[in-house]
């Protein structure tokens, strides 16, 4: 015959298991921010063929350790690729620093490499601005948009992958 103590422990274990399976067990707070976040902004929602738009990307370190390394890709959205008449390119890249803007490093057609500069301390952000140039012979009345994935490494040897993060779309208008 089982002792009353064993029956109580068994009942407690079953109850704990049921609570955990159905999501009633305590967990991480939903309000906790991601260790790092990426946000996009543009200086204009529209442009014309031959025009430019500044696309700013800001990575924020929400962790208590430095970000040591960031790798990021940027690619056109599927809808952008469906309009072959929209012609554009990235014409420039700069990193905002306390001493002013400096040219980016590691720019490629879709890889942004080490563009966020040196270490990003806890609670701080770094902003990189790409210049999107619309070709003079580009089609009109279409939207150009991008999405990005990123990877960040922290000084405590942890890392995070994020994305896709979508940019605001830029509408190419005919004058």
Report the CATH architecture of 36-167: Sandwich (2.60)
What pLDDT was estimated at residue 145?
Answer: 93
pTM, rounded to two decimals? 0.74
Q: What are the structure tokens assigned to 28, written together?
A: 């991480």
Summarised one tens digit per residue, pLDDT across range 80-133 is 999 999 999 888 888 887 788 888 766 555 556 556 766 899 999 988 888 899
Q: What are the structure tokens assigned to 34, written together?
A: 């991601």
Please give the average per-residue pLDDT across 152-161, as a whole number.
92
79 phi/psi in degrees, rounded to 5 = -60, -35
């Amino acid at each position: 015959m089982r002792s009353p103590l064993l029956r109580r422990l068994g009942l407690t274990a079953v109850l704990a298991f049921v609570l955990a399976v159905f999501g009633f067990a305590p967990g991480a707070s939903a309000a906790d921010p991601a260790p790092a976040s990426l946000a996009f902004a543009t200086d204009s929602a529209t442009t014309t063929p031959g025009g430019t738009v500044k696309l700013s990307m800001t990575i924020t370190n929400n962790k208590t350790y430095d970000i040591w390394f960031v790798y990021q890709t940027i690619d056109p959205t599927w809808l952008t690729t469906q309009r072959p008449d929209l012609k554009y390119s990235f014409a420039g890249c700069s990193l905002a620093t306390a001493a002013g803007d400096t040219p980016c490093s590691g720019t490629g057609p879709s890889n942004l490499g080490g563009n966020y500069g040196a270490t990003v301390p806890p609670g701080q952000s770094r902003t990189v601005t790409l210049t999107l140039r619309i070709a003079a012979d580009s089609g009109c009345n279409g939207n150009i948009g991008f999405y990005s994935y990123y990877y960040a490494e922290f000084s405590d040897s942890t890392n995070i992958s994020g994305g896709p993060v979508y940019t605001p779309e830029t509408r190419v208008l005919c004058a």
